[in-house]
Amino acid sequence: MAVLWLLLLVGLPMFLLGVFIWAVVKHFLTAKIPSSLKHPVKLRCMHCVMLFVIALGNILEKLRICSMPGFISFIHDLLPIKKDPTLVVTNMHFGTIPVRLFQPKAVSSNLRRGIIFFHGGGSIFGSLDLYHNLCSFLARETDSVLLSVGYRKLPVCHHPATFKDCLNATILFLKALETYGVDPSRVLLCGESFGGWIAASITQILVSNPCLPQIRAQVLITPILQVINLLLPSQQQNKKIPFLTKDFLITLLCKYLAIDHSWSDSIDTGAVIPLDKWKKYRKWLSSDNIPRHFWRQDTQPEFLGCFNEAAYLEAQHIFDTEISIVIADDKTIAQLPEAFLVSCEYDILRDDTLLYKKRLEDQGIPVTWHHVIDGFHGCLVLFDRKFLSFPCSMEIVNTTVNYINSI
């Protein structure tokens, strides 16, 4: 027995060290850190840790101990949650959907602004706890009532279960605004990354429902807004930049939409796009819509791969407007509320924001756009993590607060 314990004590650290060395090697082989990014060493270290944790999660999943997403959630939920004495925080359920309500303690003679927040994480990562500090900060600094929506994630649930959770929670909250002291004319939908997609998609759906209060504005922070054209300049330029590489993006896309990963190359090269659909949507999805100062010398115009009908049949739901919301019809776009859009220069999803910005502006929708020159995908949630934070993290938070306070 003593020998077994000795082997465990020696073998486990050696195993973990070996996995970490593998993660470091993989980082240097697959990741790219632009020289103009601030704190590049910090970003490298954090990405190595991320790869290490994902690798451990995959190993545990293969051993049938727990799922990889479950392990990741367990790890990131170990980060401390700050208690704000100026807020009342209530954990509730709307049916089976977990939500967290943030309300200022101070008495107000008027109804407050309402914010419905959807967290990021690609439907694999992210949680109410991970985004607690951000939601607390937004509620306090904007004197708003904020509802943070938890939703079912992978691997248990795929689309549309996640989306339906968020839509149902939104509708239930909108029907009970005065119960929470919220002004029905001042409700915003806000989301980051995957949550930005949810916020934008729900905003489009709600414009056709006159029985509910109309959304005042949509706040979309580094959102994913289409999954059809993955050959945009930002997806060429930033395909190896942490924390969201192109390979990882396509993996998340396939998992969320239940597409067999064997079709990933066809999705990557645009071979899933029929010529007739490309002719129809090119005016909205083409790289021609991206301003030339965002193009680099090695950026190439999109050249779609040879059409693969089998791949198209497997992945054709990427053309649903609730998934690729940029291709919604003009009538729907023209009814949308004003938007606040945040993009980051070193984000593979940067050009999704630029496409949607043009799409909204072409239909006369007011757009406030903030571009973070040294920003990268996923930096937002690090805004108050002290030595883990980056200047771009606080820039996004402060700019978002300023916009919300202006409406």
Which residues form the catalytic set? Answer: 193, 347, 377
Angle at 72 between CA 74 and CA 138, to 5 degrees: 75
- Distances in Å between the alpha carbon of 175 and those of 2, 60, 144, 181, 252? 63, 43, 17, 12, 33
| 287 Cβ contact partners less than 8 Å away, ≥ 6 residues apart | 229, 231, 232, 233, 301, 302, 351
Angle at 328 between CA 327 and CA 329, to 5 degrees: 110
Task: Count Cβ atoms below 10 Å from residue 48 Cβ, excluding itself.
Answer: 20
Supply the DSSP string of 105-130, one letter for each residue.
SS--SSPEEEEEEE--STTTS--TTT
- For residues 341 and 225, give the distance between their C-alpha atoms in angstroms, rounded to a whole number: 12
Pull the structure tokens for residue 237. 């330029």
Closest C-alpha among 134, 144, 182, 85 to residue 405: 144
Closest C-alpha among 294, 278, 296 to residue 286: 278
Closest C-alpha among 70, 57, 1, 55 to residue 24: 55
- Residue 54's identity, in one-letter code, is I
- For CA atoms 299, 304, 305, 310, the dihedral sign is positive
145 burial via Cβ count (<10 Å: 0-12, 13-18, 19+): buried
C-alpha R_g of the chain = 21
Closest C-alpha among 97, 93, 192, 174 to residue 137: 192
Sheet architecture: strand order including 112-118:
87-94, 97-104, 144-149, 112-118, 182-192, 217-221, 338-346, 367-376
| 107 Cβ contact partners less than 8 Å away, ≥ 6 residues apart | none
Crossing angle of helices 40-62 and 2-30, rounded to 10°? 130
